[in-house]
Amino acid sequence: MSSIRSSYPMMFNTTQIPFPTSYSEDSQTIENTRTAEAGNDIVNVARYGKLKASMSFTCLQTTVQTLASFKSVDSFKFKRYSPETDAYAEATVRMRNFRCQPKKGSEDLSEVKGVWIVSFDLEEF
């Protein structure tokens, strides 16, 4: 995994972000279904492969600030390594469900303002 970290860092627009503690992505198919007069279901696929990614970070306060700066942005480019293509994949996303909490026991690390657990979801347009 270390070669992926160095060869394909994750990017929000042009900002390189640290590799998350946990990461998962889901690829959704967007369909419209309606019933014809004969009673048959007609399914129209509007889109394949709509990205939804969930990630969490254990990080210092400076990284919390960097990540939090994207929660109030309407959209941004998310670049990540795709094992399907063995290259960068890019999607226009928005951040949802931003959560931040102090890591238990880190309050004594006043010189770095504690260690924080940050998690959020990215949803592709």
Q: What is the pLDDT of residues 7-26, one digit of tens each?
A: 678 999 999 999 899 999 88
Q: What is residue 35's predicted lDDT score, i.e. its pLDDT?
A: 84
Q: What is the pLDDT of residues 44-73, one digit of tens each?
A: 887 777 889 999 999 988 899 999 999 999
Domain extent, residue 33, equals 2-124
| pTM recorded for the entire structure | 0.78
- Report the number of distinct structural domains present in the chain: 1
Number of H helices, E strands in the chain: 2, 7
Q: What is the pLDDT of residues 66-125, one digit of tens each?
A: 999 999 999 999 999 888 888 889 999 999 999 999 888 766 666 667 789 999 999 998
Which of 24, 6, 19 has the alpha carbon at shortest distance from 122? 24
Helices assigned H by DSSP within 54-96: 61-68
CATH of the domain at 103: 2.40.30
Beta bridge partners of 63: none
Beta bridge partners of 89: 80
